[in-house]
């Protein structure tokens, strides 16, 4: 007999990014499907709010979120600025598609609905 799970909807998985090589891989993967980058600060209360929002994004809409913790990967956060031309903010969500940024938000503009809609619009 199989068990039926009544667990809540699955949420996106965070995958922490530490270096430029991993970042390059994400830009390459964005050629096929949108990739969500989330820059997060461990010491900022607004970033904690945005992290909670991102942690509730549906896995159906966004299977994986590339998590850049600025205290662990400052050079990677800076490389995102150089590669996208988008000014650094924390917290910040950026969606890449076909190797380029197509959407970004920061602070309280990072919401479940905003991220899911942006991915849906470009996926």
Q: What is the DSSP string of 35-58?
A: EEEEEE-TT-HHHHHHHHHHTTSB
Break the chain into its structural domains and give their ranges.
Answer: 13-122
Alpha-carbon 29 to chain mean position: 14
Per-residue pLDDT tens for 6-18? 445 799 999 999 9
Model confidence at 4: pLDDT above 60: no
In the chain, what are the helix, strand and coil shares in percent, each to the nearest 5?
Answer: 35, 25, 40
Model confidence at 2: pLDDT above 80: no
Strands 64-69 vs 35-40: parallel, antiparallel or unpaired: parallel
Per-residue pLDDT tens for 77-108? 999 999 999 999 999 999 999 999 999 999 99
Contact of 50 with 56, CB cutoff 8 Å? no
* CATH fold of the domain at 13-122: Glutaredoxin (3.40.30)
Model confidence at 47: pLDDT above 60: yes
């Amino acid at each position: 007999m199989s068990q039926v799970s009544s667990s809540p909807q699955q949420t996106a998985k965070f995958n922490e990014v530490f270096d430029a090589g991993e970042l390059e891989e994400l830009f390459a993967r964005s050629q096929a499907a949108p990739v969500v980058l989330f820059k997060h600060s461990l010491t900022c209360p607004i970033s904690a709010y945005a992290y909670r929002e991102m942690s509730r994004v549906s896995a159906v809409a966004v299977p994986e979120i590339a998590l850049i913790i600025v205290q662990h990967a400052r050079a990677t956060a800076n490389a995102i600025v150089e590669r996208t031309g988008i000014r650094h903010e924390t917290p910040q969500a950026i969606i890449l598609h076909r190797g380029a940024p197509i959407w970004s938000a920061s602070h309280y503009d990072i919401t479940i609905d905003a991220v899911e809609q942006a991915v849906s619009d470009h996926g």
